[in-house]
Amino acid sequence: MKTLLGLKTKELEQIALSLGLDAYRGRQLAQWMYRKRVTSFEAMTDLGKDTRERLLQTYAINPLKEKRVHQHQDGTAKYLFELEDGECIETVKIPHGDWETICVSTQLGCPIGCTFCASGLDYGRNLTAAEIIGQVLLSRGDTSTNVVFMGIGEPFLNRKELFRSLKILNGEVGIGARHLTVSTIGIVEGIENLAHLGMEVNLGISLHAPQDELRRRLIKTHLSRLRDILKAADLYFQKTGRRISFEYVMLSGVNDLLKHATHLGRLLKSFDFKCHVNLIPYNETDSGYSSSSPARIRAFQQCLEELGINVTVRQERGKGIQAACGQLRRQHLEGKIPS
Ligand code: SF4
């Protein structure tokens, strides 16, 4: 079966024509899939029985099946979706007031190998645009939605499907570019490509260390020099005017000392971009790292602020539902979650 999700309206019109239907049937398909979020042809009531049957013979809509949802009392929900090949991926939804943020995966496992992450180096393949968009459509509620490409995988190692997903989420699903965020470990070429895509999406860069040497200890592969990453961030800011977010996971005794904060602040100040640092309390796994104490995080934040950097500390959400990146999927792989 071929999947229709991940196709733009123009491409759906071509499919309609190839089946001997009028082109406007393609536009109807797009409306049903992306705006009304239906998951079966039977629900497309204005298509006519014949048309629906013809579509059903060759095409499917969403390649994802919901396998598990873990709901936390703070409202955070973690989804485990099964793909057509039987593999599983994770999606997290975090509600906040009239908004929700959906954190999508872009790869099956992740080839980057951050030493503090449950997904590191457990890599299978890239996800298709249909599998990425499907996560949003199946987990979305009725509130306004932000989508962050911050789940399992490095989005810029799956650039073609990432860019297609961004275009469809924006143009077809109707999520504003400023409500889409791509988060990367710092793939320079990917940042440059995104700068030229012509969409003002938000860019997040996971720094985790203010010096190359320490960064090499934390992140095993696909490493670029910090200066090159920040130069690419500067290009992104010049092209889009969007403030850059830098993510920094706080690991006790590893990267959370005042000397690290001072280095980081001075490094960021040496560029022209507007930026913001997001300190992330570590969600402990069995990686051997532990989270910095609240007092250490506050001191780190204060040091950066004194150097003139905007800083926030990410609120911890979803504790107790394996909310650290890749934990739910890992438990599934280890057979700790019954099918
Ligand atoms: S933290 Fe992100 S980039 Fe690093 S291994 Fe985990 S999923 Fe990959």
| Ligand 1 contact via 100 beta carbon (within 6 Å) | no
d(CA 292, CA 139): 32
| Ligand 1 contact via 129 beta carbon (within 6 Å) | no
How many Å separate Cα 135 from the centre of its chain? 10
Q: Hey, CA dihedral for 72, 77, 78, 79, is it positive or negative?
A: positive
pLDDT per residue as tens digits for the range 225-269 = 999 999 999 999 999 999 999 999 999 999 999 999 999 999 999
| Ligand 1 contact via 117 beta carbon (within 6 Å) | yes
Residue ranges per structural domain of the chain: 2-60, 65-333
d(CA 322, CA 278): 21
How far apart, in Å, are the Cα atoms of 55 and each of 36, 50, 273?
18, 9, 49
Q: Does pLDDT of 336 surpass 70?
A: no
| Ligand 1 contact via 119 beta carbon (within 6 Å) | yes
pLDDT at 117: 83
d(CA 130, CA 107): 12
Pocket test for ligand 1, best of 92, 112, 123, 289 (most atoms within 8 A of CB): 112
Q: Does pLDDT of 288 surpass 90?
A: no
What fold characterizes domain 2-60? DNA polymerase; domain 1 (1.10.150)
Superfamily of domain 65-333: Aldolase class I (3.20.20.70)
d(CA 74, CA 22): 48
Q: Is 88 noted as a catalytic residue in this protein? A: no
Closest approach atom of ligand 1 to CA 119: 6
Structural contact between residues 321 and 71, judged by C-beta atoms closer than 8 angstroms: yes
Query: Residues 90, 131, 161, 172: which is the catalytic one?
Result: 90
pLDDT above 70 covers a percentage of the chain that reads: 92
